[in-house]
Structure 1
Amino acid sequence: MVLSGKLVNSVLLLLLFLCYYTSSALFVPPDNYLIACGSSQNVTFQGRTFVSDSEHSSLALKTGNSSVARSNSTNVPSSIYRSARVFSGLASYKFKINEEGRHWIRLYFYPVRNSSWNLSSVPITVVTDEFVLLNNFSFKGYNGSYLFKEYAVNVTSDVLTLTLIPSNNSVVFVNAIEVVSIPDTLIPDQALALNPSAPFSGLSQLAFETVYRLNTGGPFLTGQNDTLARTWENDSKYLHVNSSVLVVTVNPSSIKYTSSVTAETAPNMVYATADTMGDPSVPNANFNVTWVLPVDPNFRYFVRVHFCDIVSQSLNTLVFNLYVNDDLALGSVDLSTLTNGLKVPYYKDFISNVSGDSGILTVSVGPDSQADITNATMNGLEVLKISNDAKSLSGDSSVKSLVPGSGSDKNKKAIIFGSVVGAIAAVLCIGLCYYCCLAARKSSKTPQEGHPWLPLPLYGLSQTLTKSTASHKSATASCISLASSHLGRCFMFQEILDATNKFDESSLLGVGGFGRVYKGTLDDGTKVAVKRGNPRSEQGLAEFRTEIEMLSKLRHRHLVSLIGYCDERSEMILVYEYMANGPLRSHLYGTDLPPLSWKQRLEICIGAARGLHYLHTGAAQSIIHRDVKTTNILLDENFVAKVADFGLSKTGPSLDQTHVSTAVKGSFGYLDPEYFRRQQLTEKSDVYSFGVVLMEVLCCRPALNPVLPREQVNIAEWAMTWQKKGMLEQIMDSNLVGKVNQGSLKKFGETAEKCLSEHGVDRPSMGDVLWNLEYALQLEETSSALMEPEDNSTNHIPGIPLTPLEPFDNSMSIINGGHSGTEEDDDGEDAATSAVFSQLVNPRGR
């Protein structure tokens, strides 16, 4: 009997423990809709049962025109995608909500093949009562076979409506839908915004889309491994290719959850694995481990970083820094101090914009310079897109603009009330306008106050900015710097408004890290490109100043000219010459523009190389561009290439220095690996970036493409693999196959390979790169007269004498025809280039 009593007590204790564990660790969602759309029966997916949308008792499906597409093919990704509900008109799913609050909305799409519709080309638009989730998505051009989207939306009524909208007399479809409650504590109302650092409130009123959820150092986790049915992806393909990491793993049961961090925050399998700094094999061990995440640059992002010290053997030994883009998010992080122990989870939330115009968000961890141990770690990373001012997560269209008559019934009372209030407000507005006019007239008589970015005179760009007399054609005056006229024309803001038709969106040329770029026309008919700074951008005051200072002293045929600037009404605006054919990248991929010929590509590369060579050697002290990429090489109406965007440029090392020590800036995929590791900038950093450009020109694909297999993600690594095999033609643009002289291609590949050397000392100068590209062009133009080389030396072109080549001394005497100084002589440069080209055939001495 005693043994039986002990056994009973043990069982009771076990049951109590299980009850406690279940109540404290497992969240039971009040709303849990798992819908298999178009299915004739229930479907099991990742351990959960999805109910047919035609049999769900709490679901209202409103449409008069729906049908079903089904497939039994083994090529379908999984059972959840084997059926789809297809709508030929506006359709909606209405879910009864038992408890208001934030909910997951998960959507599954797969273009099931059938004889009735080509679903792969169907535009898909999905909205809720308030938010646009997906707008005009099509599988046409999409690299994946299926699409899974996860959103977090705060539901504030007892009904949630999901509306699917067909477009262009087409249909719209969906394979499965989830609407599941989320714990209130999962996503807070406030997080720390970066650049500038300040609390950001009001997140509960916004919608989120999951863009990345990474288990750093750990395996792929499905919904079966997560109490909230989340998917966690392995992070390896997002690591910067030159980062060296060491994976650390502990037993998941050893993770010690707290009241503030539970299994709903992240599974213990996330906290039980981590990436830490491995052996970098470089002189400077203080490098950062960086994750490179392509995102939509037009949105802000909620970034959650998960930590758990599973590395240390004792407290207070691991201290490191966390960076989001170039911003220090957390400095001198000591996890054991924050959590009072080891193997205790911790997380931190941030709000960040995207860095640069390439749509790249980066997260880095690196050692603290004052720490005794050089190490850093991360366990998990989540990146969620935040809805914009139009309450959209896909474009700028609002629900009201996409759904005809949406919200009209709800707003009838508001319209009536608004009409009454409007009559009263109209009287007040008249009085307010009168007051504003008086205030404006008064302020126009006083000097303009400084704005948050500060006026230019404080930067030392000019000491006196005065207004010129008004033009006879216009009452608007232009501001001209009398003390420093070389800075270019200082435009009045009204002139900019007139030139761009008040920044009409139809004249938008592109969006970059500094801001938006518009096409404009000045009052004299000159076409210009107007770059309008975004105050929330991470590129601002410093880049504005650098751009003006650099371009005001640089004039070259292959550099985009700065016409002037505007620093008025809290605006920072740069005005450039207009480049009719836009960025080089748009002629390589991502648009429907006709492909460039091989000769055109060589001429464009040569033009860009000339511009960079001038930067490196044409001034008293060299200038390093620091952001060479295909979007910063612009083409005019004659396809003449010009280097643009000098906001990140840096003055090169002086004669007694070998490098410039500076923080790493630039675009991932183009970054010099030596500069990235050592923070030591040289002209050879531009050479490496230009090597990436050369491979982009040849292969017509982005520098980084994370959706490709691991070995193909980085174009520099991938292309070099084929170049070293002597099989570069296997990966070149299909439009060039059979149309390129093999000698020209070989010389081009060799040039790119040298540019992409791991160490700067092994890379050629931009002058050498320019000469080799000129030679590749000559080979292409005179291919019929070329002779096969007897060895690896450069071929001899008949008619061009062989002349011994003197070592290149980095001076401008050759390029400028013997003239010194910084002034440009385009004709002299072209003549000199032709004169020295004959020396390319005997490249000894380099």
Structure 2
Amino acid sequence: MSDLNLLSSVLVLVLISVYLHQSSSASFIPADNYLIACGSSHNITFLTQIYVPDSIQSSFDLKTQQDSNIVQSKSTVPLPIHQSARIFTAISTYTFNIRKQGRHWIRLHFYPIPEHNLSSSSFTVVTENFVLLNSDSFKSYNGSKFISKEYSINVTSNILLLNFIPSNNSIAFINAIEVVSVPDELIPDQANRLSQSSSISGLSELAFETVYRLNMGGPKLTPQNDTLGRIWENDEKYLHVNSSAANVSITPSLVKYPENLTPEIAPNWVYATGQTLGDAKVTNLNFNITWVFPVDPDFTYFVRVHFCDIVSTSLNTLVFNLYINSDSAFSDLDLSSFTGNLDVPVYRDFVTNSTDSNTLTVSVGPEIDAEDPNAILNGLEILKISNGAKSFDGADPVVDLVVSPAKKKKIWVVLAAVLGAVVAVVVIVSVVCYRYIAGRGSKPKPDQMKPWLPHSITITNKSTISLTSCNLGKTFSFQEIMDATNKFDESLLLGVGGFGRVYKGTMEDGTIVAIKRGNPRSEQGLAEFRTEIEMLSKLRHRHLVSLIGYCDERSEMILVYEFMANGPLRSHLYGTDLPSLSWKQRLEICIGAARGLHYLHTGASQSVIHRDVKTTNILLDENFVAKVADFGLSKAGPTFDQTHVSTAVKGSFGYLDPEYFRRQQLTEKSDVYSFGVVLMEVLCARPALNPVLPRDQVNIAEWGLKWQKNGNLDQIIDEKLVGKVNSSSLKKYGETMEKCLAEYGVDRPSMGDVLWNLEYALQLEETSALVEVDDNSMNHIEGIKLSPLEVFDNSVSMIDGDDEFRRGNNGDDGSTSNVFSQLVHPRGR
């Protein structure tokens, strides 16, 4: 009996130990925990947390250059913490005493109380080192909305200064503030950088802004369900394949945390629910679940994915793929290999950029050969990473916005140093001027004079790019660029990409141009900028957007292009109120783009693969002549002894060559596939991907090919073309498009063949009164000889560029080319 009692005692001790271990791991107590109700006269309880009035300043201090004001709302407010606000008319600072240095959350709550017209406020919020929020981002919120911002900052001193800086003749306000310690290990120092297939270090020193935090397949979680007081949204409004995804869940207590993962990473409620593909025995699982998030394209993002296998009945059966944007984050991901058990959480971190459509996408999909073809995602966090100026909002650093008291004390020291430097400069300038005047008549010898020739492009300090050694046309001063764009007026903005922004500009002589201003702090943009420069310095063609000149001042990366008055092709197909294009116009536009791509593939000493062919990168001038643009992702094609170029997958979802995506082997046929998607988009006037449609219609290429192969292509064409397209022309167009979208590159035509057949489709449209084309006409795609293309090819020779360029520009782009003279009447063939 004594042995039995001893055994019972041991079991009790073990259970108590396990319980204490779990409790301790789930009960993080923050050293700093400031919850401030600004402008309130009493404590406010919100989500079981007590917010203290900012008039009680025991552990923090509020200093203002002028008296602050307090306002109260007399109507219903969204949340209790929005009942009051403190208003500032001058720079004001909250100073928080920090008990434990390290990573902290700063949460700011704003509600523009309608009775006091706070929605017109314009101000900036900064710490000692980081710009959190500027006036422009707040102006988009009106009196009926509220905003809560959450930042993660590594505090390295014993105080934290939170400055509110009103803009000129405006005010700043705040409803509530939270400054809370969090575990330092919440943000790692290193993560995988997807676009470069490498790791990035130093993250622990950066600041982060929470953009999205989602509980997949589960309810919204509040601070009551989270040991760190976080809010986890439900994912449904970001889910773009919701007709096929299935929610799964288990009891949260069944989640088994491993030793190296605690509820501070994510609560068990997150791991207890998830989105899956559904029942493999019932449904066809050949699809991905995709979430799409609008983001600021000028920033890099930290993405954390949370997994927990709550669907399998045995180990090593759930194997799937994870994609972030167009990058493969995980291929053949087997959760069991990480966890060794079911119902065990695991998470992984990545760093990525947005796509050129200002979105960030996350997808999970099945590994087709898996025993249980399914996939799961339980939770997701997307954090914006501070840029090179230590800002989350613009390119201005803190030092340009506010001067701290410590810096003010040093002003006289700095002034003394400056005065000393001025005296020294005056002396040096005097000596230089004397020597210059003395030797003014001399000139350099002939052997000292060097011609200005194009050389390789150099990148310095990872943030600037030198263009002075590139023969890129006219040099513009930065002031000329500023004048042309009215100081980069946002009303002149034409588009935004990974490189930066494109503005419409008017030069001093009245010439209208497009001005691309690169973002010097974006490594992705810098790489794309360099690639575009390298390509444009050696490519010239009527159907490629031309470079006019550049600006190389103040570490700016600015290129000036010809202005394309009718903008991107996509704008004329859907999504705008622009007049519809006729079938003939669409054919001519496709032919122009095909000519530009054909030149890229064949016109230079080494082929160039565009790698981002899509309707937004085909621009139209005032005469609707199509020109291919945006060479930021372009890459030199394989040499004569190569079949492909091995490279990381880049491009745009919906246009990506599936063979290139699977094998990471790039060829000119990858552009052909993307162009096939463009042809389908031109015909049907709908996006390449439309996740809100039924599953079999999401991808335009897959959907359209089914109709084409069934001989019913005319059933899905743009309704504005119904009854206005010659059947023979449509048939030739459809056959060409089908060949472009072949699964394997070897089965696709070259761009020269595509061009030939599109010209033929145009001739059939123009001669629609004549006999129908015979069924064997498709033989031209695979068997056509390219020599006739020389008759109308208006590409530019790299050697005799001037003559060739004049010849190409004098050609009639819209007229019938000589190669088709025998087709004026089909019987002539």
TM-score interval, normalised by the smaller of the two chains: 0.5 to 0.7
Task: Give the alignment's Cα RMSD to 1 decimal.
Answer: 6.6
Alignment CA distance shift 1:503-1:631 (3 Å): farther
1:584 corresponding residue in structure 2 = 568
| Residue 183 of structure 1, CA deviation | 2.0
CA distance in structure 2 between the partners assigned to 1:143 and 1:761 by the alignment: 53
Equivalent of residue 644 in structure 1, options 612, 625, 629: 629
Do the aligned partners of 1:244 and 1:280 also contact (CA within 8 Å) in 2?
A: no
1:789 corresponding residue in structure 2 = none
After superposition, what is the alpha-carbon deviation per residue over 1:72-107, rounded to whole angstroms, capped at 9, x for unaligned?
A: 24xx5x333653425251253525334232221112
2:477 corresponding residue in structure 1 = 501
| Residue 204 of structure 1, CA deviation | 3.5
CA distance in structure 1 between the partners assigned to 2:195 and 2:518 by the alignment: 19
CA distance in structure 1 between the partners assigned to 2:694 and 2:44 by the alignment: 33
Does 2:131 align with 1:128?
A: no
CA distance in structure 2 between the partners assigned to 1:311 and 1:265 by the alignment: 22
Secondary structure of the structure 1 residue equivalent to 2:67: coil
1:688 corresponding residue in structure 2 = 677
| Residue 338 of structure 1, CA deviation | 3.4
2:383 corresponding residue in structure 1 = 384
CA distance in structure 1 between the partners assigned to 2:345 and 2:756 by the alignment: 53
Q: What amino acid does structure 2 have at the position aligned with 1:385? A: K
| Residue 627 of structure 1, CA deviation | 2.9
2:224 corresponding residue in structure 1 = 224
Q: What amino acid does structure 2 have at the position aligned with 1:499? A: T
Do the aligned partners of 2:300 and 2:354 also contact (CA within 8 Å) in 1?
A: no
1:609 corresponding residue in structure 2 = 590
1:164 corresponding residue in structure 2 = 164
CA distance in structure 2 between the partners assigned to 1:587 and 1:678 by the alignment: 33
Q: What amino acid does structure 2 have at the position aligned with 1:153? A: I
1:338 corresponding residue in structure 2 = 338
Do the aligned partners of 2:110 and 2:174 also contact (CA within 8 Å) in 1?
A: yes
Alignment CA distance shift 1:585-1:79 (3 Å): farther
Alignment CA distance shift 1:141-1:30 (3 Å): closer
CA distance in structure 1 between the partners assigned to 2:38 and 2:263 by the alignment: 30
Equivalent of residue 666 in structure 1, options 651, 654, 657: 651
Do the aligned partners of 2:226 and 2:266 also contact (CA within 8 Å) in 1?
A: yes
Alignment CA distance shift 1:185-1:138 (3 Å): closer
Moved more, 337-346 or 325-334: 325-334
Alignment CA distance shift 1:88-1:821 (3 Å): closer
Do the aligned partners of 2:385 and 2:392 also contact (CA within 8 Å) in 1?
A: yes
Secondary structure of the structure 2 residue equivalent to 1:610: helix
Matches within 5 A, 1:283-432: 290-318=290-318, 322-327=322-327, 329=329, 333-350=333-350, 352-354=351-353, 356-365=355-364, 376-403=375-402, 406-407=403-404, 409-412=405-408
Alignment CA distance shift 1:562-1:139 (3 Å): closer
Secondary structure of the structure 2 residue equivalent to 1:559: coil
Secondary structure of the structure 1 residue equivalent to 2:184: coil
Secondary structure of the structure 2 residue equivalent to 1:259: coil
CA distance in structure 1 between the partners assigned to 2:359 and 2:718 by the alignment: 28
1:634 corresponding residue in structure 2 = 619
Do the aligned partners of 1:817 and 1:829 also contact (CA within 8 Å) in 2?
A: no
1:479 corresponding residue in structure 2 = 454
Alignment CA distance shift 1:671-1:494 (3 Å): closer
Matches within 5 A, 1:428-827: 477-479=452-454, 493=469, 499-501=475-477, 506=482, 512-513=497-498, 537-538=523-524, 555=541, 557-561=542-546, 577-579=561-563, 581=565, 583-584=567-568, 597-598=578-579, 608-614=589-595, 627-629=612-614, 631-636=616-621, 641-646=626-631, 648=633, 665-668=650-653, 683=672, 685-689=674-678, 804=772, 809-810=780-781, 827=811
Do the aligned partners of 1:319 and 1:335 also contact (CA within 8 Å) in 2?
A: yes
1:109 corresponding residue in structure 2 = 110
TM-score by length of 1: 0.65
2:431 corresponding residue in structure 1 = none
CA distance in structure 2 between the partners assigned to 1:564 and 1:118 by the alignment: 45
Aligned residues: 732
After superposition, what is the alpha-carbon deviation per residue over 1:361-393, rounded to whole angstroms, capped at 9, x for unaligned?
A: 344556679977655543322221111222211
Equivalent of residue 72 in structure 1, options 66, 71, 75: 75
Do the aligned partners of 2:548 and 2:560 also contact (CA within 8 Å) in 1?
A: yes
After superposition, what is the alpha-carbon deviation per residue over 1:33-72, rounded to whole angstroms, capped at 9, x for unaligned?
A: 3333344554443333334444575454445142415152
1:656 corresponding residue in structure 2 = none
CA distance in structure 2 between the partners assigned to 1:105 and 1:648 by the alignment: 38
Alignment CA distance shift 1:687-1:68 (3 Å): farther
2:264 corresponding residue in structure 1 = 264
1:830 corresponding residue in structure 2 = 814
After superposition, what is the alpha-carbon deviation per residue over 1:161-195, rounded to whole angstroms, capped at 9, x for unaligned?
A: 32223324233333332222212322234444455
Do the aligned partners of 1:243 and 1:288 also contact (CA within 8 Å) in 2?
A: no
Secondary structure of the structure 2 residue equivalent to 1:214: strand
After superposition, what is the alpha-carbon deviation per residue over 1:126-154, rounded to whole angstroms, capped at 9, x for unaligned?
A: 22232111112235378993322111122
After superposition, what is the alpha-carbon deviation per residue over 1:554-610, rounded to whole angstroms, capped at 9, x for unaligned?
A: 73x4432468999x9xx9999785226595399899xxxxx9752689998666433
Q: What amino acid does structure 1 have at the position aligned with 2:131? A: V
CA distance in structure 1 between the partners assigned to 2:70 and 2:734 by the alignment: 56
1:735 corresponding residue in structure 2 = none
| Residue 210 of structure 1, CA deviation | 0.5
Do the aligned partners of 2:545 and 2:628 also contact (CA within 8 Å) in 1?
A: yes
Do the aligned partners of 2:500 and 2:516 also contact (CA within 8 Å) in 1?
A: no
Do the aligned partners of 1:207 and 1:386 also contact (CA within 8 Å) in 2?
A: yes
1:459 corresponding residue in structure 2 = none
1:25 corresponding residue in structure 2 = 26
Q: What amino acid does structure 1 have at the position aligned with 2:407? A: N
Q: What amino acid does structure 1 have at the position aligned with 2:454? A: C
Q: Which runs of 5+ in 1 are unaligned?
A: 1-5, 430-468, 482-489, 590-594, 654-658, 730-739, 776-793
| Residue 752 of structure 1, CA deviation | 14
CA distance in structure 2 between the partners assigned to 1:819 and 1:41 by the alignment: 81
CA distance in structure 2 between the partners assigned to 1:402 and 1:585 by the alignment: 41
Q: State the percentage of identical aligned residues.
A: 43
Do the aligned partners of 2:89 and 2:166 also contact (CA within 8 Å) in 1?
A: yes
CA distance in structure 1 between the partners assigned to 2:175 and 2:579 by the alignment: 45
Do the aligned partners of 1:356 and 1:512 also contact (CA within 8 Å) in 2?
A: yes
CA distance in structure 1 between the partners assigned to 2:83 and 2:717 by the alignment: 44
1:181 corresponding residue in structure 2 = 181
Q: Which runs of 5+ in 2 are unaligned?
A: 1-6, 426-445, 457-465, 639-643, 705-713, 797-806
Alignment CA distance shift 1:505-1:338 (3 Å): farther
Q: What amino acid does structure 2 have at the position aligned with 1:104? A: W
CA distance in structure 2 between the partners assigned to 1:88 and 1:304 by the alignment: 37
Alignment CA distance shift 1:79-1:419 (3 Å): closer
| Residue 471 of structure 1, CA deviation | 13
Q: What amino acid does structure 2 have at the position aligned with 1:379? A: N
Do the aligned partners of 1:103 and 1:180 also contact (CA within 8 Å) in 2?
A: yes
CA distance in structure 2 between the partners assigned to 1:178 and 1:241 by the alignment: 36
1:205 corresponding residue in structure 2 = 205
Secondary structure of the structure 2 residue equivalent to 1:830: coil
Do the aligned partners of 2:109 and 2:177 also contact (CA within 8 Å) in 1?
A: yes
Q: What amino acid does structure 2 have at the position aligned with 1:387? A: S
Secondary structure of the structure 1 residue equivalent to 2:270: helix
CA distance in structure 1 between the partners assigned to 2:117 and 2:762 by the alignment: 52
Secondary structure of the structure 2 residue equivalent to 1:140: coil
CA distance in structure 2 between the partners assigned to 1:504 and 1:604 by the alignment: 37
Secondary structure of the structure 1 residue equivalent to 2:260: coil
Do the aligned partners of 2:39 and 2:71 also contact (CA within 8 Å) in 1?
A: yes
Secondary structure of the structure 1 residue equivalent to 2:50: strand
